[in-house]
Amino acid sequence: MFESLQKKLLDVIRNVRGMGKITDKNVKDIVRQIKLSLLEADVNYKVVKAITDNILEKARGTNVLNSITPAQQFVKIVYDELVSMLGSKEAELRLIRRPSPIMLVGLQGSGKTTTAAKLALLLKEEGKRTMLVAADIYRPAAIEQLKILGEEIGVKVFSENNKDVMDICKEAMREAKDSLVDAVIFDTAGRLHIDEDMMRELENVKRLIEPDERLLVVDAMTGQDAVNVAMEFDKRLDISGIILSKLDGDARGGAALSMRYVTGKPVKFIGISEKIEGGLERFYPDRIASRILNMGDVVTLVEKAQRVMDKQTAAEFEKHLTHSKLTLQDFLDQLKEIKKMGGISSLVDLIPGDFKRGLKASSVDESQLKRIEAIINSMTPEERRNTRILNASRKKRIARGSGTTVADVNRLLSQYEQTMSMMKKFVKGGKRFKGIRLPF
């Protein structure tokens, strides 16, 4: 996420760090480099100009030029500027009424339907009774798509074929009231911001359902045009926030930075995975700015762990750990938790720069984890608890069952034993384990 922007800015900062003194002349040069990095990242030209002007002005201020640690001062300025561009505070959803209508709008292909399902799941997990409304009657099979997703996550989907959008929305609201729903998410059809008729339709829907939240879903890969789209939707609907989708690619994310800036409306969520579960995250400007400047985002990492880690499993794990009785079943549970958090690679993103480098180099191999999972799954509960009973014939059976070789099984076992002996040393040393530690 934001990788290329990150790389470029880090290069700039490294340069700055190498400078003993920052002069008026090299400030200009540095700011030009920042300007180019931002443009390359699809940040809107006008926004780039405003930001770099700000940076230049602040950097020329006496406290940087005269500072003993000019580089640090400078990084702070860039960081602050990034944060102010992204919005200073995280923006919560404001669900006021009951049922609270939430309207998702955007261009075609920005990912509204998938996002609707992700948001529904998120709200459901927070204990809200949620309903989805299929208000996209134009794209063939869009209703079908939402229904399938709704079924997957166990959220009711309101849909009616062959009716006009206004009728569907009206009836959906009635239905939501009757069934005492907390939040109703309206998945509207994708449309171009310059399509007069379609935009008017949205205005009418808005007037009808009076949504608490009007969220614009935007593809993170959008280029310079993103600001035009955002401004037009904002003008028509007074949007209450932005959801940035498809940030799991190598999108440069500049669009995000720009849209917040020109509309003044906060980015509320980001889409970080194709999977519905765990595919949507709240947006924290300061954390993202840290990520961009490679300061890592440990807060999100810890929260992620807390959210998905089943309390009981965690307690069990810790007990086993402190008694040095970590079984392969615990291994397996851990693997599942990691998966729930969006896989190793999404976690690696959150680790601060210097630590990350080692991890990236060894390139965490997710398929390796899958193999380990398969092997453990092919063991009996008894075997998972006590690996000593694994003789040649059992190993052969496990290899066959998991589609691996006996050598793979042996490798896993020796890794497991190594981990065990390491654990023992830790525990003996009196260190207690808090939260999760990956046993690998």
The structure tokens listed for 306 are: 């807390």
Interacting span for another protein (CB under 8 A) from 14-22, 73-81, 220-228, 284-292: 220-228
Q: Is there binding between residue 36 and another protein (CB under 8 A)?
A: yes
Q: Is 225 in the site for another protein (CB under 8 A)?
A: yes
Residue 40 lies near another protein (rule: CB under 8 A): yes
217 vs 245: CA distance, rounded Å: 7
- Residue (222 or 300) nearer to another protein, CB: 222
Residue 235 tokens read as 């003008």
Contact segment (CB under 8 A) with another protein among 22-30, 39-47, 161-169, 407-415 equals 39-47
CB 316 within 8 A of CB 433: no
Binds another protein by CB under 8 A, chosen from 66, 88, 108, 414: 108
Supply 252's token pair. 């440069």
Q: Work out whether the CA dihedral 412, 418, 422, 425 comes out positive or negative.
A: positive
Which of 42/297 has CB closer to another protein? 42
In one letter, which amino acid is 12?
Answer: V
By CB under 8 A, what part of segment 230-289 binds another protein?
A: 231-232, 246, 248-252, 254-255, 261-262, 264, 274
Start-to-end Cα distance in the chain: 25
**CA dist., res. 369 & res. 345, Å (int):** 12
| Minimum separation from the CB atom of position 353 to another protein (A) | 20
Query: Please, which of residues 47-66 interact with another protein by CB under 8 A?
Result: 47, 50
Identify the residue among 8, 118, 193, 304 touching another protein (CB under 8 A): 193
DSSP string, 41-109: TT--HHHHHHHHHHHHHHHHSHHHHT-SSHHHHHHHHHHHHHHHHH-SS-------SSSEEEEEE-STT
- Report the distance separating Cα 408 and Cα 110, nearest Å: 42
Tokens of 108: 């075609």
Q: At what angle do helices 392-402 and 366-377 cross, to 10 degrees?
A: 120
By C-beta, is 48 or 173 nearer to another protein? 48
- Beta carbon of residue 68, minimum distance to another protein (angstroms, whole number): 30
Residues 6+ apart with CB under 8 A from 359: 348, 351
Q: Which stretch binds another protein (CB under 8 A): 68-76, 142-150, 199-207, 297-305?
A: 142-150
127 binds another protein, rule: CB under 8 A = no
Q: Which is nearer to another protein, 108 or 414 (CB)?
A: 108
Q: Is 45 in the site for another protein (CB under 8 A)?
A: yes
Q: How far apart are CA 273 and CA 271, in angstroms?
A: 6
**Cα–Cα distance for residue pair 420/49, rounded to 1 Å:** 56
Shortest reach from residue 36's CB to another protein, in Å: 6
Based on C-alpha coordinates, what's the Rg of the chain?
25
CA atoms within 13 A on the CB side of 15: 14
Q: Which is nearer to another protein, 229 or 309 (CB)?
A: 229
Q: Is residue 107 a contact point for another protein (CB under 8 A)?
A: yes
Tell me if 368 contacts another protein by CB under 8 A. Answer: no
Binding interface with another protein (CB under 8 A): 36, 39-42, 44-47, 50, 107-111, 139-142, 144-145, 147-149, 152, 192-194, 219, 221-229, 231-232, 246, 248-252, 254-255, 261-262, 264, 274
